[in-house]
Amino acid sequence: MPIDMSARPRRIMIPGNPPIDLWDLRHRYLIGVPGERPIPRRELSQINEIAIHHDASWFDAGDNDYNGTTFDEDIERMDADYRAANDRLNLNPRRQPYDLYASPNGRLYYVKDSRIIGAHVEGHNTRAMAVCGFGDFTSVWPSLVGLAIYGGGCAVIWRGLWRKVPITGHRYFPAQSTVCPGNVFRPGWEALVELVAQRFAGF
Ligand SMILES: [Zn+2]
């Protein structure tokens, strides 16, 4: 699909904080096609945790230190993640596995309606929302701006839900065999995101 150059972000202002630019790209990713399973749905009241991820395992090798200078590069990366989830892993029905993507350049992307159940933490997808960072955080650190927008994305979810839910690295959910979202920050990487989220959300 061509890159939509007319897309513009919605600027979210939380008093006392830098603005968060949220790019709504839900229209970009096809959800389900004839012959696939029905689209799995949930109520927002069922969401009680945020899972944070990196996208390293989806994307081609060689992009571990992704820095996403341009909007186009981010779009290409999300498109590749979408293809990897749907074509390589046979996601059924097809959809974006995550809810939000946090880019190292500070852009935040909304790619799947939160009422549609994603595919990112086995056994916990109905109750968990996903924020995924671009990059392989087993080998490189996220940028500071990337870290800020990771937390900012979680704050946006809290404010959207009107309540606070725990923020947990994918690897800490029960019975997951993954190091996602990376293990070079141990200990405290997810806690750092939570601190940033608290600062952004103001509660
Ligand atoms: Zn993950």
pTM: 0.92
Cβ(158)–Cβ(131) below 8 Å: no
Per-residue pLDDT at 185: 66
- Distance between Cα 129 and ligand 1 center (Å): 11
Token pair for residue 161?
A: 């839900």
C-alpha 6 – ligand 1 centre gap (Å): 31
**Which CATH number goes with the domain that contains 60?**
3.40.80.10
CA of 132 to the centre of ligand 1 (A): 8
Ligand 1 ion local residues (Cβ < 5 A): 53, 170, 180
2 belongs to a structural domain = no
16 CA → ligand 1 middle, Å: 31
Taking the centre of ligand 1 as the mean of its atom positions, its distance from the CA of residue 170, in whole angstroms, is: 5
pLDDT digits (tens, 9 = 90+) for 106-116: 999 999 999 99
Residue 151 lies in a domain: yes
Helix/strand/coil for 195:
helix
pLDDT digits (tens, 9 = 90+) for 128-187: 999 999 988 888 888 888 889 999 999 999 999 999 999 999 999 999 999 999 887 666
How many angstroms does the Cα of residue 52 sit away from the middle of ligand 1? 7
5 in any annotated domain: no
Q: Which residue has the higher pLDDT, 155 or 1?
A: 155
Give the largest CA-CA distance in the chain: 49
Cα–Cα distances in angstroms (integers) from residue 97 to residues 20, 42, 118, 144, in the given order: 22, 15, 5, 25
Question: How far apart, in whole angstroms, are the C-alpha atoms of residue 109 and residue 60?
Answer: 20
Ligand 1 centre from 152 Cα, in Å?
18
Determine the distance separating the centroid of ligand 1 and the alpha carbon of 20, expressed in angstroms: 23
Where in the sequence is the domain holding 92, given as residue range(s)? 10-31+40-201
Q: How many angstroms separate the alpha carbon of residue 181 from the centre of ligand 1?
A: 6
Token output for 36: 């696939």
Tens-place pLDDT, residues 21-70: 999 999 999 999 999 999 999 999 999 999 999 998 666 655 777 877 88
Task: Identify whether 25 is part of a domain.
Answer: yes
* Spacing, Cα 96 to ligand 1 middle (Å): 13
Determine, yes or no, domain membership for 24. yes
What's the gap in Å between 130 CA and the centre of ligand 1?
8
4 domain-assigned: no
Cβ atoms of 67 and 105 within 8 Å: the answer is yes
Q: 3 in a domain, yes or no? A: no
Domain presence at residue 135: yes
**Total domain count, the chain:** 1
Surface-to-core class of residue 37, CB atoms within 10 Å of its CB (0-12 exposed, 13-18 middle, 19+ buried): exposed
Distance from residue 15's CA to the centre of ligand 1 (Å): 31
Spatial distance between the Cα atoms of 153 and 130, rounded to a whole number of angstroms: 10
The candidate with the shortest Cα–Cα distance to 26, out of 91, 86, 117, 100, is 100
